[in-house]
Amino acid sequence: MSTIRKLLAALLTVLSLALAMPAAAGGEPGKCTGGFVNPITDICWSCLFPISIGALDIWPSNRPDPDNPDLPVCLCGIRPGIAMGFWEPVRLADVSMKPWCFVNLGGTKLDPGFDIGFRSISGPSAIGGASQYYSSWHVHWYAYPLIYWMEIVADFLCLEPGSIDILYISEIDPLWQDSELTAIINPEAVLFANPLALAACAADCAASTARLPLDEMFWCAGCQGSMYPMNGNVSASIGHVQASRLVLSRFAYKLHRELVSWGTMGSAGLCGKYLMPVMRKQQYRFQMTNPNPATSGRYACPPIGASTTLQEPGQVIPAIGEDMGYLVWRKRNCCAL
């Protein structure tokens, strides 16, 4: 009996210590996983295409492409040029339920030691009820002008210059973890928080899966759900791929709303970037880089809102690959010399 009492006392001590620990240590949902992105083998190079001059595809592709300016020539001030359209890899993104998990940096956890960002630790549970579909995610946004720093195309003024750098960490953004604070940048969310507006997103789901999302339905993220709120709280989490793509879409929209990201597509983008507080979904493609790079196939770099049915198999490996990494492709129209 004395041995049993000692075991029970030890168990109670362990439980007491666990309950006394802060949320940052007690709620951590597992090991950070990921891998470095190989700029040669992990990139879907066919996602560069189509390349167009005016409305003519000089390098066609079976991937959907938004409308390009009709005329092959353009004028920026007094400088004439050729109206080119192409897709450019410009950003990397980590999407993880584990705070400070840098998926595309080899699955490295760079926790600064402060109790910051841990409020939103949670994943889909099996407790039943509506709460089992809830998940929370963090995003890290990297500058990744791949074509420029690899010097694949030299002296092309249309390319975004720069080097690899970390641009945004959602753990230090209070708006990213609180849906009430997020209303500061998306007050119009109350207009679309109703069954009719959400049901209308079925049309955007079909359009984005068949070809391109409907920019007119800016409150929809296609088959993934609603763009609101613009944070990492997902109330309808079906799977890691679906939820992570929804969060990444919201994050991109959030950057546009905060005037951090600008428009680069269409006639308005020929002479430079322009303000786009309401993001055009057709401007982006998301390619999976972690846990398994999607480097070929029709849905290697699908547009925002496309169905994830054909992308989910093999992309979630328990305890090994539950953190998501993406390469962000951006449509660029440019008046080239």
Could you read off the pLDDT of 258-288 as tens digits, one per residue? 999 999 999 999 999 999 999 999 999 999 9
151 pLDDT tier (thresholds 50, 70, 90): low
Asked whether residue 121 is assigned to any structural domain, the reply reads yes
Question: Does 19 map to a domain?
Answer: no
What is the identity of the amino acid at 154?
Answer: A
Model pTM score: 0.86
E strands present in the chain: 51-53, 56-59, 73-76, 79-96, 101-102, 108-109, 135-136, 138-143, 165-169, 233-234, 284-290, 324-336
Task: Report residue 312's pLDDT band, with 50, 70 and 90 as the boundaries.
Answer: confident
- β-sheet bridge partners, residue 140: 94, 169
Q: Does residue 110 lie within any of the structural domains? A: yes
Ranges assigned E (strand) in 7-105: 51-53, 56-59, 73-76, 79-96, 101-102
Q: Is residue 34 part of a domain?
A: no
Q: Per the domain annotation, does 3 fall within a domain?
A: no
Q: Of all residues in the chain, what percent carry a pLDDT higher than 70?
A: 84
Contact 258, 161 (CB under 8 A): no
- Residue 31 counted as domain residue: no
Averaged confidence pLDDT in the chain: 84
pLDDT tens digits, residue range 166-212? 999 999 998 998 888 999 999 999 999 889 999 999 999 999 999 99
> Is-cis flag, bond preceding 229, omega within 30?
yes
Inside any domain, residue 27: no
- 75: containing domain: 42-336
Amino acid at 239: G
What's the total number of domains in the chain? 1
Q: Does the residue 324 lie in any domain?
A: yes
